Structure 1
Amino acid sequence: MAYTLPTSPASSIGLADYLDHLNTAVDTADTDSVLASADALSAFNSDADLLVDHLNTALADLASWQNGNPYMGPSLLLGRGKNFTVRANIWLPPARMSLHEEQTLHSYEVPHDHTVSFLTVGHVGPGYETTIWEYDPGSVTGVPGEPVELRLLEHTDLARGKVMYYRAGRDIHTQHHPPALSVSLNLLIHRQDDAHAPQRFFDTDHGRLTHSTPSPATRGHQILCDLAGHLGDQRTAPLLEHLTTTHPSPAVRATALANTVRLLGPAAEPALQRAVDDPHPSVHDPARNALNGRTGEH
C-alpha cells in the first residue's frame, strides 16, 4: 500500500547536500533504501529558502530555466541524478484556473496511477486531500472499460511536513483541490522496468479502467516503428520483426508487427503466426484477424 513515513531529520540540508546524499547513500533499485531516505527528504524540506533561491536563480538566468524539464504543468525541476529526479509541484486552488486546465495539469478528481515510484512531502501550504486505492497491474490488460478490482486504502492529505511513498503501477489516487496554493517536493525513482509502463486512469465508482496513456519511451518507440515501416528497406523488416517478440511494451510489439506487415506483405505470415501466441490482446487479436483475413482471401 501507499506508505505514510514517520521522519526525524537531524537538521535542514540544502539542495546540493540532498542530491549528494541521493547519489552516494541511496540505492534507487532497493525500495527499503529509498524509504530509508525519507529523513533526508524531510531535512531538505526544512530548507525554507529552497524555492526562493530556485526562483531567484531562474529570474537572473531565464534562458536556462527548466531546460530539460519533461513534466507538464507547474512542476519545477530541481535536480537529477542516476535513476532519480527531484522536483517541486505547485498545486493551485480552483479559483486560479478553469476546470479543463485543472484536470489537464493536475488530474484533480481523476483517479490515476503513476509510472514511477516516488517519495513526496508537503512543503508549502495546506496541501491537497487525496483518496488512495491499490490494484494488481498484472490483472489488467489495458482495454478501456475492463473491470479492475480496487481496494480502498485511505482518504488522507499531504499536509506540510508529511512524507508519503507511492508505488509505481499499484497505488491509485485522486487529488482534491487544496484550499490555498500548496507545494510538494518529490523524489521520483526511475527504474528500467517502469520505462514502458502506461499511466492508467480509472472509474473508481464502477471499478473500471477508463483509458491509458503510453510512456514517452513507448510513444517514441512506436513513432520509430511507424517511420521504419514507411521508409525502411530490406534490412528493416528483420529488425521490426525482432521487436514483435522481444519488446517489453505490448503497444510497441503491436506497432512493430503492423509495420512488419506493411514492409513484407504476404511474407509477414510467420511473424503473424508467432504474434498469435503473444499474451496481450493488443498484439494477438490483430494477428489473428490478419491471418483470418488472409485465409478468407484464398
Structure 2
Amino acid sequence: MALSIACPNDAVMSIEDYLEYVLDEVDVSDIDAIAASAPALQSLGNNRDLVADIFNQNLKNFLAGGRTTQYSPQSFVIGGKRTDKKMFFVRGNVWCPIAQQAAMRALEERVFSYHIAHDHNFHFMTVGYYGPGYETDIYEYDHAKVQGYVDEPVELRFLERTGLPRGKVMLYRPSVDVHLQLPPAELSISLNLMVLEPQLQARDQYFFDVDAGRIAGLPYSAAVFQRNTLIQLAGHIGNARTAELLHRLAASDSNRRTRVAALDSMVRLAPPGVETVLCGHADDADTMVRTYARTALDAAEQPSALAHLRGGLGLSYRQEVSTLARKGLGEALH
C-alpha cells in the first residue's frame, strides 16, 4: 500500500541542497531508495521560507513582466534536475476548501481534483507543508490485469483513509496505488517529489469509479495521452503526407495507444490502401491494436461497434484543464 513514513526531525533544507541530495544520493528508480530519502523531503518541508520565497519571486516577475512558475491551476514548480540518468522535480500543490454553492462546488472539485480516484505512472513522494492537509482514500489494483478500456471492470481493494497534515510523508507506488483526495477544512499546501521515468510514463493512467469498480475515464493530461492528441487531431485536418507518417507510427511505435491512435486517424483520413494497412494489423500481437484493426475493417457493416470502441479507447481530441500551463516545468528541469 502507499507508505506513510514516520521520520520526525527538525532539520531544515534548502531547495538547492535537496535537489543536489536527490541527484547525488538517491536512486530514483528504486522505491526503497526513495523511501529512505523521506527525512530529506521532510527537512525541505521544514523550510518555512520555501514557498514564501517562491511566491515572492513570482511577484517580482509580475512586476517585471516576466514569466511565473505556474504548472496547473493548483500547482507550482519549485525546482528540478535532468541528467542522462535522472529526471525529477519538486512541485507545490495548493489545496483549498471548496464553495458551498452547488455550481461552484462542482467546478472547484474538478479544478482541485477532489473526489476523483486516479493512479500515477511515476513514483512520487509527498509531505504536508502548510495547513491541516487533505484526507485521502487509498486503494490498490493490479495494473497487469487491466486492458485499459473506459468502463472496464477493475478489482479495487480499499486500503485506508488517511490525512496529510504538516510534516507527514507519504510515498505512492506507480500503477498500483489509487487515491482520491477530499477537500481540507482550511487552505493547505503539500510538496511533492515527482520522478519521471520514460519506461513508467509509457504506461496507461486511469480515472476510476470506486463505487462501481470500473475505469471511469482517461487522464488526457498524462504523458502517454498527451502526444496522442496531436495524432488524433491529424486525423481531422491531415493530408496525404500525414497518412504516410501515421502509417509509420502504427507500424513501428512501441506504445500501443499511439499505434491505435495512428490507425484511427488513418481511418478518418481514408487514404488509398487503408484497408490493407488494417488487414496487416488484424493479427497484431497486441490485443488492443488487433481489436481496433478488426473492428475498423468491419465498420461498414457495424459502424456502431467502431464508435463504441472509440469511446472505450478515449479516441477523441480532448485536453484536460491541467495541460494548459506547463511552461514552468520545462524551465525547472535543468
**Alignment check: 8 A CA contact 1:250 1:282 kept:** yes
Alpha-carbon separation, structure 2, partners of 1:81 and 1:127: 27
Opposite residue 23 of structure 1, the aligned amino acid is L
How far the C-alpha of 1:279 sits from its partner, in A, is: 5.6
**Alignment check: 8 A CA contact 1:225 1:240 kept:** no
**1:191 counterpart (197, 210, 234):** 197
Structure 1 residue 75 corresponds to structure 2 residue 75: yes
**1:220 counterpart (195, 217, 227):** 227
**2:90 counterpart (86, 92, 99):** 86
Q: 1:74 to 1:271 in 2, by over 3 A?
A: same
Q: Which residue of 2 aligns with 1:66?
A: 68
Q: Deviations over 1:58-106 (max 9, x none)?
A: 1112244434x4x422211101112111011111012388212322222
TM (norm. structure 1) is 0.87
**Alignment check: 8 A CA contact 2:240 2:271 kept:** no
Q: 1:88 to 1:294 in 2, by over 3 A?
A: closer
Q: 1:227 to 1:146 in 2, by over 3 A?
A: closer
Q: Which residue of 1 aligns with 2:105?
A: 99
How far the C-alpha of 1:6 sits from its partner, in A, is: 2.2
How far the C-alpha of 1:281 sits from its partner, in A, is: 5.6
Q: Which residue of 1 aligns with 2:280?
A: 274
Opposite residue 97 of structure 2, the aligned amino acid is P
How far the C-alpha of 1:132 sits from its partner, in A, is: 0.3
Q: Which residue of 1 aligns with 2:179?
A: 173
Q: Which residue of 2 aligns with 1:254?
A: 260
Q: 1:96 to 1:27 in 2, by over 3 A?
A: farther
What SS is found at the alignment partner of 2:139?
Answer: strand
The total of aligned residue pairs comes to 293
Of stretches 244-253 and 110-119 in structure 1, the one that deviates more from structure 2 is 244-253
Alpha-carbon separation, structure 2, partners of 1:87 and 1:96: 28
Alpha-carbon separation, structure 1, partners of 2:76 and 2:210: 30
In structure 1, stretches of 5+ residues that fail to align are none
Structure 1 residue 23 corresponds to structure 2 residue 23: yes
What SS is found at the alignment partner of 2:117?
Answer: coil
Q: Which runs of structure 2 are paired with 1:16-165 in the superposition (5 Å)? A: 16-62=16-62, 63-67=65-69, 69=70, 71-82=71-82, 83-95=87-99, 98-165=104-171
**Alignment check: 8 A CA contact 1:116 1:167 kept:** yes
How far the C-alpha of 1:187 sits from its partner, in A, is: 0.4
Alpha-carbon separation, structure 1, partners of 2:301 and 2:53: 67
Alpha-carbon separation, structure 1, partners of 2:277 and 2:20: 48
Alpha-carbon separation, structure 2, partners of 1:74 and 1:107: 9
Q: Which residue of 2 aligns with 1:2?
A: 2
Report the identity percentage: 36
How far the C-alpha of 1:20 sits from its partner, in A, is: 1.4
**Alignment check: 8 A CA contact 2:115 2:180 kept:** yes
Opposite residue 116 of structure 1, the aligned amino acid is F
Opposite residue 11 of structure 1, the aligned amino acid is A
How far the C-alpha of 1:143 sits from its partner, in A, is: 1.8
Q: Deviations over 1:229-271 (max 9, x none)?
A: 854546x655433322443433321121134456674523443
Q: 1:266 to 1:65 in 2, by over 3 A?
A: closer
**Alignment check: 8 A CA contact 1:276 1:287 kept:** yes
Of stretches 31-40 and 80-89 in structure 1, the one that deviates more from structure 2 is 31-40
Opposite residue 89 of structure 1, the aligned amino acid is N
How far the C-alpha of 1:54 sits from its partner, in A, is: 1.3
Q: 1:290 to 1:176 in 2, by over 3 A?
A: closer
How far the C-alpha of 1:107 sits from its partner, in A, is: 1.7
Alpha-carbon separation, structure 1, partners of 2:252 and 2:141: 26
Q: 1:124 to 1:279 in 2, by over 3 A?
A: farther
Opposite residue 42 of structure 2, the aligned amino acid is S
Alpha-carbon separation, structure 2, partners of 1:94 and 1:294: 48
Q: 1:20 to 1:274 in 2, by over 3 A?
A: same
Opposite residue 243 of structure 1, the aligned amino acid is L
Q: Which residue of 2 aligns with 1:206?
A: 212
Alpha-carbon separation, structure 2, partners of 1:293 and 1:182: 51
Alpha-carbon separation, structure 1, partners of 2:187 and 2:270: 56
Q: 1:250 to 1:87 in 2, by over 3 A?
A: same
Alpha-carbon separation, structure 2, partners of 1:272 and 1:6: 54
Q: 1:259 to 1:131 in 2, by over 3 A?
A: closer
